[in-house]
Amino acid sequence: MNASRKQGFRAGVSVIPSFIAIFIGFGVAARVADVPAPAAVLLTIAVFAAPAQFAIIELTGQGAAAIVQMIFAGVLINLRFFLMSLTLAHLFTGVPRLRMLASAQFVAASTFLLTFFQSRKKSEHVNLHEFFISMAVVVFPAAVVGTLIGVAFGTNLPPAFMFGASLFLPVYFALLLSSDVKGRYEIMAVLCGFVFTPPVETLLPGWGVFVSALVVAAAITVAEKR
Amino acid sequence: MNAVEWTLVIAGAGLGTYALRVAPFMSLRLYRVGQNNLRFLTFVSLAIAAGIVARSIVFDGGSVGQPPELAIKVAAVLAALIIQHRTKNLLVALFGGVGLAVLWKWLTM
């Protein structure tokens, strides 16, 4: 295994507990909403984005009449992936389009952010696409396994275990941010993202992170150009 | 909902999401848009990471979490940051912070 793959694999392993915990949560919610187990697992495989999946199953109570609404809700919540892929397109230079067609499915907040942070380590020469794919190879099955556990026996898992597992992702991102952010404009982006996301999330459930990030980034880009 | 209806939902949401994910890799025009706005995209990425941390700390599922739980989460992040500062080891800091949170939660249950 080369260095890029090894690092990607290691990065993926460190977020496995969070992925399993998040998707156990989805599996439990799917079971409560009477979503058939195969449909819950296939949703994870096809959509691979927990917030959108939660939005979809929340509408199951409305029955078949809500099919179009379910699809639109799922796709709209995932609009952020467009921006993430736009950034990744500049990090994955020289990768054949056919390979990109296959790897695009694995673009998610964690796989994107960990690749983004890796790209900023100028001292380490890492093939970012290999890093990304190696991470996805670990993280994607974790999402499927989490969904299966949630559907099968999610309600029987110890609460302290679930609580701890759900903390791996935010603690990991906090650690990466603390060691990675450079310059006052980047510090402002982090602080504003941190402060504004909870109120925006309260006003626009499911959209807080995306909307806050867009507004904060636009404001700071303008401020930096002045 | 029957199997056909679920297939429609899964296929629709899956393909729609995939289109969003793959479009920037396939279109040169979109690639150039990204190239001209790389600094903006960097700020978006950092704000998303910070937003995920804030949302995970403040919210519990879909609603604002209880203060004792919030305190444990803040302590976990702070402990992890202190351990990282002292040890310079990210994995030790990660497991140290989360371990503290699990212990605290377990003791107060």
Could you tell me the pLDDT band of residue A144, with boundaries at 50, 70 and 90? very high
Instruction: State how far the Cα of A161 lies from the Cα of A170, in Å rounded to an integer.
Output: 16
pLDDT in tens, A26-65: 888 888 788 999 999 999 999 999 888 988 887 887 777 7
A207 contact B CB<8A = no
Which portions of chain B are predicted below pLDDT 50? Answer: none
The predicted structure's pLDDT at residue A142: 95
List chain A domain ranges.
3-180, 181-226
Judge whether A28 is closer than 8 Å to chain B, CB to CB: no
Candidates B53, B78, B88, B104: best to mutate against A (most CBs of A within 10 A) is B53
In one-letter notation, the amino acid at residue A203 is L
Mutate: best of B7, B28, B45, B72, partner A, most A CBs <10 A: B45
Give pLDDT tens digits for A74-130: 888 888 899 899 999 989 988 888 899 999 999 998 899 999 999 988 766 889 999
User: Going by C-beta distance under 8 Å and a sequence separation of 6 or more, which residues neighbour residue A150?
Assistant: A23, A24, A25, A26, A27, A28, A29, A30, A31, A40
pTM of whole model > 0.90?
Answer: no
Give the number of other CB atoms < 10 A from CB of residue A218.
Answer: 13
ipTM above 0.90, yes or no: no
- What is the reported pLDDT for A113? 92
